[in-house]
Amino acid sequence: MNGLKSHLGSWLGPELAPILLCAIALAILGTMLLFALGVAAYLRTRSDRYLLLAAATGALVARSLLGLGTVFDIVPMFVHHLVAHSLDFLVALTILVAAYLHRGSDNYSTNT
């Protein structure tokens, strides 16, 4: 662990490093799987909605990779927070735009 400690951010205690690295690794694998599924759905449908959803999951992959870079002191904590929270906003925005684009294809009528 001593070799790993020299590469970890100064803010991260050695007792928590394995847990955080495991959580980030799972997040990267999970978001990469979701991104691949989103890209596959977009390629199948060529829909703007699916393109936006693929972009949102791609932003989640970037956010997870950013976290890994922060753990290894490649990305400063200030940059991590600035970019990560900007990506949070981008994900929320793209999902809302995708939902807005979907509004006309519901199976029910709002006219009663």
Convert the pLDDT of each residue in 4-33 to its tens digit.
555 666 666 777 888 889 999 999 999 999
Query: What does the pLDDT read at residue 13?
Result: 74
Query: What does the pLDDT read at residue 4?
Result: 52
Query: What does the pLDDT read at residue 61?
Result: 97
Q: What is the mean pLDDT of each run of 10 residues along the chain (112 residues)?
A: 56 79 95 97 94 95 94 90 94 93 60 49
Query: What does the pLDDT read at residue 1?
Result: 47
Select from 59, 68, 50, 69 the least CA-distant residue to 31: 59
Which phi and psi (to 5°) does residue 67 adopt? -60, -40
Q: Which residues of 86-96 are buried (b: 16+ CB within 10 A; e: fewer)?
A: ebeebbeebbe
Report yes or no on whether pTM surpasses 0.75. Answer: yes
What is the rounded end-to-end Cα distance, in angstroms, of the chain? 66
> Do the Cβ atoms of 3 and 9 come closer than 8 Å?
no
Distance (Å, whole) CA 92 – CA 74: 26
Query: What does the pLDDT read at residue 3?
Result: 47
> Do the Cβ atoms of 91 and 51 come closer than 8 Å?
no
